[in-house]
Amino acid sequence: MQFFGGGSSLTSVPPDAGTPAPAAPPGTGTGGGPSAQVLYVFNRGGVCLLYREWHRPLRTLDPTQDQKLMFGLLFSLRSFTSKIDPTTAEKGNLGVPLLPGQGCSFYSFKTNTYKLNFLESPSGIKLILITHPRTGDQRDTLKHIYNLYVEYVVKNPLYAPGTPIK
């Protein structure tokens, strides 16, 4: 079963397809297409499982610092959005770690130079895809990447959970 397999394109994998690869959502290239610039995958504890970059002219920090900063930003943004959410009355305290799926989360933010797309799975896996600011909604792409992770990483018997994906 796929966690995010709500979309018809994701669940309609023909049984005789041979490979268990989830079908890509329409209009998606392999892993985000040419507009994707950077991809991060974090686990629940903040370990960076995967880092890929396709277009990154500016580097202000070394990779580990950069990954820590990114995880910290997402952590704070999560607690910020769940606290500032105007539609729910009971919100708890600011800064208390939230469980995956608890409170109001966010799926993207946009600056003038990039757009960050974010997906958190129920098990706490965080997928971050940085794209060009003009790209549209990338939620389906992230679900597709998550399904690829489930198929080829989680189901790989040689993979030790919590270690970088090789």
Partner 1 sequence: MRYSTPRPSNSVRHRIRFPVDLPRSLRLSTPVSSSSPAACADLHTPRAAFCFRRILAGRLFIINKSGGLIYYKDYGSAGRTDTNDSLRLASLWHSMHAISQQLSPTPGCEGIDLLQAHNFDLHCFQSLTGTKFFAVCETGAQNIEVLLKVIYELYTDFVLKNPFYEMEMPIRCELFDLNLAQVLQKDRVALLGR
CA dihedral 81, 146, 130, 76 (to 10 degrees): 30
HSE, side-chain direction, 13 A CA sphere, residue 12: 6
Give 66's contacts (C-beta < 8 A, 6+ positions apart).
Answer: 59, 60
Contact by Cβ (8 Å): 161, 18 = no
Q: Give min distance, CB of 151 to partner 1, in A.
A: 26
HSE, side-chain direction, 13 A CA sphere, residue 127: 25
Interface positions, 109-128, toward partner 1 (CB under 8 A): 109-114, 116
Collapsing DSSP to helix, strand or coil, 143 comes out as: helix
Q: Give min distance, CB of 154 to partner 1, in A.
A: 25
Could you tell me which stretch among 14-22, 23-31, 74-82, 140-148 binds partner 1 (CB under 8 A)? 74-82
Could you tell me which stretch among 9-17, 20-28, 55-63, 144-152 binds partner 1 (CB under 8 A)? 55-63
Q: Give min distance, CB of 164 to partner 1, in A.
A: 20
Q: Can you tell me the distance from the alpha carbon of 160 to that of 134, in angstroms, rounded to the nearest whole number? A: 37
Contact characters 13-32, partner 1, x per CB under 8 A: --------------------
Q: Identify the residue among 133, 136, 162, 164 touching partner 1 (CB under 8 A).
A: 133
Count residues near partner 1 (CB under 8 A). 43
Tell me the residue length of the chain.
Answer: 166
Q: Which residues bind partner 1 (CB under 8 A)?
A: 37-38, 53, 55-58, 60-61, 66, 69-70, 72-73, 76-77, 80-81, 83-91, 94, 104-114, 116, 130, 133-134
